[in-house]
Amino acid sequence: MPGDPVKNLIGEDVYVSDLVIEELRAELGLNRPLLEQFLAYIQALLRFDLGYSYHLHSPVAEVLQERIGWTLLFVGVSVGLGAGLGVFLGAYAGWKPETKLSRGLSCGFILLSCTPPYFLALLFLGIFAFKLGLFPFKGFYDTLTLGSIASHLFLPVSVLALFSASRNFLILRGSVIQEKEELYALYARAKGLYEREILFRHVVKNASLPIITLLALDFGFLFSGALFIEIVFSLNGMGTLIYDAIIGKDYPVLQGAFLLIALAVLIANILADFLYAVVDPRVRRPA
């Protein structure tokens, strides 16, 4: 294990006797055998007690509770926007793959999906906040009005939404290309429906099934992408919490945060299963 949480807590310049360090270790429970520490952690967990943060001097559960709201707002808005944008553009690019616009879109989104999220966030921050001065470059602590929150969140949300959109776009494009060859699309055309109606009423409905699964599985990815973007834009969410916890070796916070993210991903997957049944009647019908 790199670094010692106790050393980190006291600070490197301070001289303390070994006795004091041992006392501190005993107080934090770090001197007990690993198995015992783990059992104690599980026991506490069953009482919804996530432990006590070394650095922030408050229960981990409270710290997380305070931060997760912001992250959920940020991720929720971006995922929604990204899904909308990705589905709409992906449907178009799959419907008419040979036009210049859809080819350009495909190239753009492939390039985007190959960029590390934080690099794009850095570029956005550099261009729009430092150079052009259009947006503030620090998180939202000052006034909690809608306008202030929106202007602080605009850049991070657009970066994360672009990422989410790039993944949805590529999936939907491929699946629309496959679906439009099916017979029901041909039948819809024979009925005399307009192109747009065939695409959005029939083809997209079938083609977007993989998107639902992807969104749920991607939830973890988006959460971590959000983490980097939060760090770059100094947003006051889970990302900066985890980052500070890594730097300060605040293990209880790290464990609690990961547990929460894992739970969120599980819940997202359960929701996706329900949503699947809503969208696709074949799943609802008993076999």
User: What residues line the site for another protein (CB under 8 A)?
Assistant: 1-2, 97-98, 103, 106-107, 110-111, 113-119, 122-123, 126, 130, 174, 177-178, 181, 217, 219-221, 223-225, 227-228, 231-232, 242-243, 245-247, 249, 251, 254-255, 257-258, 261-262, 265-266, 269
Residue nearer to another protein on the CB measure, 3 or 16: 3
Q: How far is the CB of 229 from another protein (least distance, A)?
A: 11
Supply the angle between the helices 251-279 and 209-232 in degrees, to the nearest 10.
150
Question: CA dist 80 to 48, 85, 86, 139, 141, Å?
Answer: 31, 9, 10, 22, 25
* Closest distance to another protein from the beta carbon of 266 (Å): 7
Question: In terms of residues, how long is the chain?
Answer: 287
CA of 265: how far to CAs of 118, 170, 213, 223, 261, in Å? 21, 22, 12, 9, 6
The least CB distance from residue 179 to another protein, in Å, is 10
Measured from the CB atom, the residue of 54 and 223 that comes closer to another protein is: 223
Closer residue to another protein in complex, CB, 84/210: 210
Nearer to another protein by Cβ, of 20 and 111: the residue is 111
**Residue (129 or 149) nearer to another protein, CB:** 129
Q: Provide the 10 A C-beta neighbour count for residue 248.
A: 18
To another protein, the closest distance from the beta carbon of 15 in angstroms equals: 26
Residue (126 or 145) nearer to another protein, CB: 126
Helices in the chain by DSSP H: which ranges?
Answer: 5-10, 18-28, 34-46, 60-95, 100-113, 117-124, 146-179, 183-190, 195-197, 204-207, 209-232, 238-247, 251-279, 281-284
Closest distance to another protein from the beta carbon of 41 (Å)? 14
- Residue whose structure tokens are 């959460």: 223
CB within 8 Å of 206: residues ≥ 6 apart:
179, 182
**Nearer to another protein by C-beta: 39 or 262?**
262
What's the closest the beta carbon of residue 162 comes to another protein, in angstroms? 14
Q: How many CA atoms lie within 13 A of 204 on its CB side?
A: 20
C-alpha 98/C-alpha 34 separation (Å) is 60
Minimum distance from residue 38 beta carbon to another protein (Å)? 13
